[in-house]
Amino acid sequence: MTRKTTAPHTLFACILTLTLVPAARATDVVMCTDLGPVTIQLFDEQAPLHVANFLDYMDRGYYTGTVFHRVIEDFVVQGGGHDRDLRGKPAGEPIENESRNGASNTRGTLAAARTGDPHSATSQFFFNLADNSRLDASGDGWGYTVFGRVTDGMDVVDAIAALPTGPRAQFEAEVTNPLIAITAMTRRGETPFPELRDDARLEAIRERIATTIDEEDLVAAATWMDRYHAECGEMTADLRVTEATIAMVTERKPAAITALDEYFRIASPRHASYEVAQSLYEMLVPEGAENIIAAPSAALAQLAGECLIGETPSLPDGANATLDDMVAGQQTVREFIASSNESLECLDDAGDDRSLNDDQRSLLTRAYNDTVDLMEEVADQFNEQIRIFRERQ
């Protein structure tokens, strides 16, 4: 067979055509969950309305604290509309259906949940666990819009799908036990400090957050907080207050409220930043703030009031304390640790009550962890004062 050659002008035209086609844009986001991170590539060009809608909810902090409330094995994992108490979150205006964009509901894709109205999608989404082509548009019928795909972390989605499900609150079935929540979500971006290991990288990012706040550069602090979220770093109570402060100053009120909601979920009234957080919340949500803040504390007091420890002990100042002051302080700390250990045993026993529901167990677990954190904090602070005292001798 004689090899067919292509005319020079035809080849040149083909080359020009290839070089003029731009690469499809795609935004990568990291979704941090209770079971681990999921990285998603969004289809900016195929589903621009849905991507913009999803990113708007994400940037407002809407998804933080929402759970996967509908999980059906070999079908879908759905979330994005209910909080940890399975209360529905207010959503924005619906958007136009984009299911005829050529993207199919195959395993690992992200699609928009909706009602029977094809143009009713708002905040809720679902991961396809299988090839669900029956959800695609066909003929004159609208389908479910695919607007992204999982590029890393499908094992996390599968782990959510593997959890036992059943009825809870207003849902007759399909709610996982335990509930799995989204703890943060942000754009992926470049990995900072790539030369460092995970723990060291997270510590370096936290230092940058603190430094930029000290420098009163809250815009930079917000950027570093996003990078911390992209690494799915653990969000302590202190970091939630920091996050709320940054969001408030950079005029992202919804994100600030969400951060404070998360703070009050994990912090007790004994936490050092509690009054600051309460003041911030009252500024942001003056109506009903008292009820929202007091509810977890009241429920916890009812469950385990006798188990809870008293006030945090006052520690001597190593910079000017006498030896007798330090000895007395040591005794105070020992008594506090002993009392705290009794509190931990009490909380542990209270948690063994089989009549408790998941939310009640969660409150007791939070109180237990808060007590451990406080014990460690008091011990660390006293050891620091001992160090200061010894340097004076």
Residue 264's H or E segment, with its range, is helix 253-266
Question: What size, in residues, is the chain?
Answer: 393
Q: At 318, is the secondary structure helix, strand, or coil?
A: coil
Q: Which residue has the higher pLDDT, 275 or 53?
A: 53
Report the side by side order of strands in the sheet with 146-152: 70-72, 76-79, 125-128, 109-112, 146-152, 36-43, 26-33, 182-187
pLDDT of amino acid 82: 94
CA distance 64 to 80: 9
R_g (Cα) of the chain, nearest Å = 26
pLDDT at 289 > cutoff 70: no
Predicted TM-score (pTM) of the model is 0.71
Q: Which residue has the higher pLDDT, 117 or 294?
A: 117
Beta-carbon neighbour count of residue 300 at 10 Å?
A: 20
Say how far residue 343 (Cα) sits from the centre of its chain. Answer: 29
Q: Domains of the chain: which residue ranges?
A: 26-183, 323-392
CA distance 383 to 372: 17
Indicate the pLDDT class of residue 20, thresholds 50, 70 and 90.
very low
CA distance 230 to 37: 9
- Give residue for tokens 């939070």: 366
Which residues, 6 or more positions from 178, have their beta carbon under 8 angstroms from its beta carbon?
Answer: 34, 163, 358
Indicate the pLDDT class of residue 297, thresholds 50, 70 and 90.
low
Pairing of strands 165-168, 125-128: unpaired
Q: Give the pLDDT mean for 116-133.
A: 97
pLDDT of amino acid 6: 34
Q: Give the pLDDT mean for 257-264.
A: 91
Class of domain 26-183: mainly beta
CA distance 175 to 150: 22
Cβ–Cβ under 8 Å, residues 140 and 26: no
Averaged pLDDT of the chain? 85
Q: At 202, is the secondary structure helix, strand, or coil?
A: helix
Q: Give the pLDDT mean for 108-129.
A: 97
Cβ–Cβ under 8 Å, residues 276 and 82: no
pLDDT at 200 > cutoff 70: yes
Indicate the pLDDT class of residue 3, thresholds 50, 70 and 90.
very low
Q: Give the pLDDT mean for 363-384.
A: 80
pLDDT at 391 > cutoff 60: yes
CA distance 77 to 163: 11
Cis ω before 178 (30° cut-off from 0)? yes
Indicate the pLDDT class of residue 352, thresholds 50, 70 and 90.
confident
Q: Give the pLDDT mean for 315-335.
A: 88
pLDDT of amino acid 7: 35
Question: Quick one: which of 159, 72, 148 has its CA closest to 105?
Answer: 148
Q: How many CA atoms lie within 13 A of 284 on its CB side?
A: 24
Indicate the pLDDT class of residue 268, thresholds 50, 70 and 90.
confident
User: What does the pLDDT look like over 354-370, one tens digit per residue?
Assistant: 766 665 666 677 677 77
pLDDT of amino acid 340: 81
Question: Quick one: which of 198, 256, 299 has its CA closest to 64?
Answer: 256
Question: And the tokens for 5?
Answer: 């050659």
Q: Which residue has the higher pLDDT, 274 or 13?
A: 274
Beta-carbon neighbour count of residue 392 at 10 Å?
A: 9
Q: What is the DSSP letter of 102?
A: S
